[in-house]
Structure 1
Amino acid sequence: MNKQEQAEKDYLSGMKYKDIATKYDVSINTVKSWKNRYGWQRGNSKKGASPPKRVHTKPEKGAHKKEDASGELTPSQELFCQLVGGQRLPLYRAYMIAFKIKRKSLESIMSSASRLGKRPEINARIVKIQQEVAAKHEWSLDRVIDSLTFVHDEAKAGIYLEGLKKANSDAMLNSLDRITSLLHISDEGVKAKAEAEIAEARAKSVDTSFSDEDRTIILDDMEDSN
């Protein structure tokens, strides 16, 4: 007896849609779809009437509890989204955990996980979870840029004070690369300009002790060096 036939017996015995869906790890709309497709009826069928003809359709290969247009997810699909969106697990790893996959090849698992992740309702749920996590920790692009800028400037100051050290130079370059990536700056000239603007903005916010005469001398020195 397959899952649909077992679910039908539960339905005819009076079990609710919600309880059937939970028992067989499907959505409520899937249970309703089975009812309409296979003609399930409770106690109001005519006596002696022949049972409705069953039409068995071959399930799509590789599909996992395909849903209708309602977009509701099964518990396994929801767990998959939580692992990817909330815990940042790779698709294949989240797929293995959520669907308890053990004996498939890695290539097959990665292929199935990729297809599942591209489904509109799955992708939308993952994005929503990522947004919820970001909001929970109050992260934003401005805060990330500000933190990376702080690391960059502190590393640069350390180089000025203590000389060139690998740790400081790596921290400065890594933070600059991340800022460049986040702001979608790919051109090297624009990248250098961005670095100069960041340094200038920080200098203006910290250093207010120069007189106009001092500033003129510094600017002249900068022009001579160029």
Structure 2
Amino acid sequence: MTREEIKELAEFDFIKGMSIEDIASKYGLSKNTIKTWRTRNGWVQKRKDSKDSREGSKGSKKGSKKDSKGSNELEKKTPPPEEDKPPDNNNGLTAKQQAFAREYMKSYNATQAYMNVYDATYESAQTLASKMLRNVQIRTEIERLKKEKARKLDLSYESLLLDLAREANADIGEYVNFASHDETVVDGKGKPVLDTNGAEIIAHKSQVWLKDKADVDTSLIKKVSVGKDGVQLELHDRSKARDELLKRLAPDEKLKALQIEKAKTDLELAKKKLELLNGGKDDDVTINIQPFGGDE
């Protein structure tokens, strides 16, 4: 279950009257998290609206039979709602269905999207939003909007793979210069310090400095900081990036492992069957397994 789904369920529980403490315990979250969601998403007002709606519906039931005849006549005269009108675009969606798809893309919260477009109560939106998402044409429109959003962000599977490849091949030498040299150790007066044999003591010195910002690809830098040991530069984890690339670019390896595991299972089953046929003994049983890609 995603965090957005948990948030939506927690909101529903709050509107139904559950306490902050009980919701936090139910979903394994902190009370502060639930309180933050309650404030940002207006749960208190929604609980109040839901309560008012329930009380209003109870009062209206008393006169429902009396007004049924008049309401039927009113329904005949009332024009069909917008959802019943013919589609107004090539995608086969009404204007409100399109608006629902756009609202859904903002937060991926179907209930909230339905409430924003149709001005419905939370309880109605809970049911009707799920129905909207099962509509094939609406799902198609949502997928189209996702692709459009990805194009605007210049994101694609290929571009993400290229980014991973760049991280996997990043070289620290492209960001720093380093050198070393020998120099004579001197005392406070600038005179060379001698060893026990009277020879000058030579120290090996190293230097490291960053290259100019204009000469490097800063997108591959994870962190730059200045501490007591000087400037520290950290690139993204090459090993992690390479492992991710292997998983994405060599899926056949995983398939091969599954095939091998299945072959082992089949072998064990075959042995068990032959043991049963031989009265529980498999001393004279020999089973040959052809390797993958071998001759039959």
More strand by share: 2
TM-score by length of 2: 0.32
TM-score between both structures, scaled by the size of structure 1: 0.39
Which structure would you say has the larger RCO, counting Cα contacts within 8 Å and 6 or more residues apart?
1
Give the helix-richer structure, 1 or 2.
1
Q: Which has the larger radius of gyration?
A: 2
